[in-house]
Chains A and B, each alone.
Chain A
Amino acid sequence: MDFSDTKEEAVFRTEVKNWIGKEAPTYLFKSLSASGFGSTRTGEYDPFEEAKKWQKKKADAGWACIQWPKEFGGRGAGPMDGVIWSQEEGIYSKLSGTFIIGQGMCAPTMMAYATPEQNQRYIPKIASGEEVWCQLFSEPASGSDLAGLKTRAEKDGDEWVINGQKIWTSGAHISDYGILITRTDSEVPKHRGLTMFFLDMKSAGVDIRPIKQANGDSGFNEVYFDNVRIPDAQRLGEVGGGWQVSLTTLMNERLAIGGSIATGFPEIKALVDDLTIAGGRAIDNPAVRSKLADWYAKSAGLKNTSARALTALSKGEVPGPENSIGKLVAGGMMQDIAKFGLDLQGLGGAIVDPAIADGAARLQAMLLRSPAVRIEGGTDQILRNIIAERVLGLPEELRVDKGIAFNKIPSSNS
């Protein structure tokens, strides 16, 4: 066991440090540091423009998506180098949020299923941030039961005609392309009638509308498809093989999201270090200490679990579904932390004005945003099913839709 850098790692770290030291947008450091959970602050500068600028700069110098092959804009680096890069990029990595879906989920799916020519055309621009991608999976009536989706694709000559609606599409409004899962056959059991495509988000018939979320923000969209035409050349995988393709995407989603996950621990620690309750420092209160210890042990456990996964990755092993624990632990923990932090402040804790509230109201923002963490990318309950079935080997849930043609499955609307 050794937590220090190897000689090669130390050399790499110095190289990274030097480049970032020279090139990073230091003028954004202060605003980025004050970013709350779920929002990136760039002060007087436009967040999307700044994100694109930083990404392009990294790409031009060979520091974008460093684990990708060189021909796709990466530098063929190993997983440990990837970690070193993100440790050194530090606060500036907050600028990369815009690109997570494209780089973390769409690109790996394209690499696995698109033609070499398509990959040559699209992947380098995903790396450089010149083109932004989104993932069109969830629908109003199929979230956890993704394979129950209804958006139709019908073949018409060399093209497919798409009709239906997607929802919870992050960044659709700023995206150039997207990967889209559709139903191409309703006569077969649900998992077997799906087909995956990628499409130009500027295609005629695509209508994008922002969703106003429960916390008041709008990071997600509804996307409507009205006779949208996609060339058959943009199909990913076989007709009817869309479910397999989507598993590639979702597996990568778990890695992309599970890697460095926020838990809220630094925020609650900072609060109780300074706060006074009942005439004493909050951190000296035994009830506070007990909670704090529990949360620290959990967040350290997540950090150490991903360190173990990385060690496995660097030895060439494939990380398994056990990595589902990251979001499951962090989501509930954030919600608890936010609630507890506000509770310690009494009614004053209800204030969301960043000029008045402690820590620029970041715990209040966390309280209002954290319910979504327990839902997006797999609900707590789906994640527990995955752990129970795929890790512990417990028997599958009894499913009434198993082996039944999709159009014969009972649904809320029938």
Chain B
Amino acid sequence: MNFDFSQDEKMIRDQVSKFLDQQSDTKVMRSAVDGDTRYSADVWKGLVDMGLTGTAIPAAYGGVGVGYPALCLIAEQLGAHLTPTPFSSSVYLATEAIIGFGTEAQKETWLPKLANGEIIGTIAIVETVEEVTETSIQASITGDTLTGRKLIVPDGGIADFAVVIAKSPGTMANSSLSLCIADLQHESVTRTPIETIDPSKNSTTIDFQQTPIEILGDQVDGWSAVRRIYDRAAILFAFEQIGGAQSALDMAVEYAKERFAFGRPIGSFQGLKHMMADMYVALKLAESNCYYAAWALATESEELPLAAATARVSATQAFQLCSRDNIQVHGGMGFTWEFDCHLYYRRSNYLTLQLGGLATWEDKLVSSLPDAA
């Protein structure tokens, strides 16, 4: 047994960390939250130049092909720096959808461009303010066009194309849902920014009006495909979450050492100490579950759905707790716009919802448990 990342994987992480330390401090997210920029094009270009968009894309399709453990560690760093780029939408979701379900021709067409950052993708699922279900999807495919509205699409204002789930009557034996690829630059597509708790996520409402599409893959059951894409992406998002949780905890600890009250550093009070100890515990548990999930992802283990849900549940808990109590440790200062605490709080709560809320993942976890656990 060896439960650790390899030296090469750690080296990639360190390079990414160094780059983001220099290029993506929280000012970058702040400018997105302030509404000055939609996302950081500079940081995105830097990530592309380092080849990170092709991390898990096989070399045959123009990628680097160093595999998923490395991608997990990259995700952890992006989460730690609150980097506002479309990396998660394009790499964990759109790219993975094509790798997992695209036809050979689609892989040859799309993957090299995704790998070299020439195009950016996203995934468009949600249509209402209710948790999405197999029967709630209304967008529909007729012939080779798509019509319907996707209410909230992360990175929808930046992406060049979207993988969209929609009804496709008569095309499938077992399901009426398909995935399709839609060009978001097409004139039939209307994109409207939508305000959310985390403005740096570039959330967008997208209307499709007889938009030309191509069906993704051959006879793919759209709903189970999304579930599978989400399971895998949940692991990468969980790494972003533990990265963010670590940064929020670090911020709390640093402040508690420097801020004095009643003649001593506030970090010497047990009320705050114990709060931060609990943040640390939640983070450690999540981190270890994430490591296990990284292994499941890399080896295509049968345990992937359970490992993914476990990592997702504990990483969600950890980031929510750390970002929430980071504000508490900072007291009044933590509630100012000027301090970064709210950036972690916003990001953690957005990420909690991005692939479906905590209850959804708790349910998935229990459904994936073996009978005699």
Contact of B362 among A6, A269, A293 (CB under 8 A): A293
Known contacts A300-B289, A305-B285, A381-B274, A1 near B294 by CB under 8 Å: yes
Contact status B273-A388, CB under 8 Å: yes
Please tell me if the beta carbons of B291 and A269 are within 8 angstroms of each other in the complex.
no
Separation of A80 and B1 alpha carbons in the complex (Å): 8
Q: Decide if B366 touches A292 in the complex (CB within 8 Å).
A: yes
Contact at A293–B276, with CB atoms within 8 Å? no
Stretch from A114-122, A171-179, A188-196, A393-401 at the B interface: A393-401
A398/B253 in contact, CB under 8 A:
no
CA of A190 to CA of B256, assembled, Å: 29
The minimal Cβ–Cβ distance linking A296 to chain B, given in whole angstroms, is 6
On chain B, which size bracket covers the interface? 35 or more
Extra contacts, 6 of them, besides A6-B1, A301-B314, A394-B273 (Cβ < 8 A), are A293-B361, A308-B288, A381-B270, A392-B249, A394-B268, A396-B268
Residue contact A311 to B284, C-beta cutoff 8 Å:
no
A394 touches B3 (CB 8 A): no
A310 beta carbon closer than 8 Å to chain B: yes
Distance of A4 Cα from B359 Cα, bound (Å): 32
The residue of chain A having its C-beta at the shortest distance from the C-beta of B268 within the complex is A395
Q: Which of A381, A395, A397 has the most CB of B within 10 A?
A: A395
A265 to B373, CA, bound (A): 8
Closest to B6 in A: A1
A404 at the interface (CB under 8 A from B): no
Q: Are A300 and B310 in touch, CB under 8 angstroms?
A: yes
Residues of B within 8 A of A412 (CB): none
Instruction: Return chain A residues, CB-CB under 8 Å to B281.
Output: 325, 328-329, 387
By CB atoms of chain A within 10 A, which of B5, B256, B313 has the most?
A: B313
Show 22 residue pairs from A and B whose CB-CB distance is below 8 angstroms, ordered by the A residue.
A2-B1, A83-B1, A269-B373, A283-B366, A293-B309, A294-B317, A296-B373, A300-B289, A304-B3, A304-B292, A305-B288, A307-B292, A308-B291, A311-B4, A325-B281, A325-B285, A381-B274, A392-B280, A393-B257, A394-B253, A394-B273, A398-B268
Cross-chain contact A398 with B289 (CB below 8 angstroms): no
Q: Is the CB of B288 within 8 A of A289?
A: no
Q: How far is the CA of A315 from the CA of B4 in the complex (A)?
A: 11
Question: Considering the complex of A and B, which 8 residue pairs feature the smallest CB-CB distances, nearest first?
Answer: A301-B285, A293-B362, A304-B288, A388-B273, A384-B277, A387-B277, A394-B267, A395-B268
Q: Chain B contacts of A388 at CB under 8 A?
A: 267, 273-274, 276-277, 280
Least CB separation from A315: chain B residue: B4
* Number of A-B residue pairs having CB atoms within 8 Å of each other in the complex: 157
Asked whether B366 lies within 8 Å of A384 as measured between CB atoms, the reply is no
The contact size tier of chain A is 35 or more
User: Beyond A1-B69, A308-B3, is A293–B289 a contact (Cβ under 8 Å)?
Assistant: no
Per a CB cutoff under 8 Å, which of B256, B289, B362, B372 touches A294?
B362
Q: Please name all residues of chain B whose beta carbon is closer than 8 Å to the beta carbon of A389 when the two chains form the complex.
A: 273
Q: With the chains together, A294 CA to B320 CA distance in Å?
A: 14
B302 within 8 A of A: no
A265 to B294, CA, bound (A): 23
Cross-chain contact A3 with B268 (CB below 8 angstroms): no
Q: Is A156 engaged at the interface, CB distance under 8 Å to the other chain?
A: no
For the complex formed, measure the closest distance between the CB of B29 and the CB atoms of chain A, giving whole angstroms: 25
Residues of A within 8 A of B292 (CB): 300, 304, 307
B40 to chain A, nearest CB (A): 31
Q: Is the CB of B256 within 8 A of A311?
A: no
- Report the separation of the CA atoms of residues A384 and B295 in the bound assembly, to the nearest whole angstrom: 30
For residue B278, CB closer than 8 A to chain A, the reply is: yes
Within 8 A of A (CB), among B128-142: none
Q: Is the CB of B253 within 8 A of A310?
A: no
**Which residue of B280, B295, B317, B373 contacts A391 across the interface (Cβ within 8 Å)?**
B280
Query: Which residues in A have their C-beta under 8 angstroms from that of B278?
Result: 384
- Flag if A289 contacts B363 (CB, 8 Å): yes
A315–B274 CA distance with the chains assembled, in angstroms? 31
Most buried by B among A297, A385, A395: A297
B365:A308 contact, CB within 8 angstroms? no
B298 at interface by CB-CB < 8 Å: yes
B253 to A, closest residue via Cβ: A392
As a 0/1 sequence over residues 354 to 395 of chain A, the CB contacts with chain B under 8 angstroms (1 = contact) are 000000000000000000000000000101110111011111
Looking at A296, A387, A393, the one whose CB has the most chain B CB atoms below 10 A away is A296
B59 interface contact, C-beta 8 A? no
Q: Which residue of B lies closest to A303 (CB)?
A: B288
Chain A residues whose C-beta falls within 8 Å of the C-beta of B276 in the assembled complex: 388, 392, 394
Decide yes or no whether B174 CB sits under 8 A from chain A: no
CA distance A191 to B367 in the complex (A): 53
Contacts of A125 in B (CB 8 A): none
Asked if A298 and B285 sit within 8 Å, CB to CB, the answer is yes
Contact B291 A393 (CB under 8 A): no
A217 CB within 8 Å of chain B: no
Report how far A397 CA is from B5 CA in the complex, Å. Answer: 36
